[in-house]
Amino acid sequence: MSKEKNKHEDVYEPDSTAESMPVDGEQLKVQMDALQSQLAEAESKASEYKDGWARSQAEFQNYRKRIERDNELTYANMKGDIIKKVLPALDDLERALQNRPADDSWASGIELIARKLQNILEGEGVKRIEAKGAAFDPNFHEAITHEPSDEVESEHVIDVVQNGYMLGERVIRPALVRVAQ
């Protein structure tokens, strides 16, 4: 008999004591209410845990984006600092080329070097600030003098003393200019 009993263990057999007890509708309702409150509590906790998980995921995504943005900004700042250190050499080459002899092969070589340097800077996203004749803008220009001028409108750039440069949308060096009064 023990072998037969083991074979049928998973089969539900009503308890003989349960059959003898009368089923009370009131007890059944109390048990049902208790089960429903447990279910509601479990659903509430599951929803709370899901919301916490979603919030953590969003915070992590925001953190990752902030780190990427900070890294890009740091890279751009470092790049701008290095380019800023190279610009005086380019200025010297340009000044030397303004006063070069007409048919000197050595000066032509210097001009090629200056053009290569300018092409490298352009390839890195560096643009020269065009200032001559433009309206004075303190965001892009630094005025070294204010002079009366009949040829140029008031508050416009007469001449550029030193070129200014931008890296993307950021000014890495403002143009030094003479401004008309």
Domain boundaries, the chain: 126-181
Highest mean pLDDT among 1-5, 9-13, 16-20, 63-67: 63-67
The CATH class given to the 126-181 domain equals mainly beta
Tokens in use for 75? 């890279």
Q: What is the mean pLDDT of the chain?
A: 86
Quote the pLDDT of residue 107.
82
Largest CA distance in the chain: 123
Residue 126 near residue 172 (C-beta atoms within 8 A): yes
pLDDT tens per residue, range 63-91: 999 999 999 999 999 999 999 999 999 99
> Does residue 13 carry a pLDDT above 60?
no
How many whole angstroms separate alpha carbon 120 and alpha carbon 178?
28
Full-model pTM = 0.63
Among residues 134, 129, 175, 137, the alpha carbon closest in space to that of 153 is found at: 134
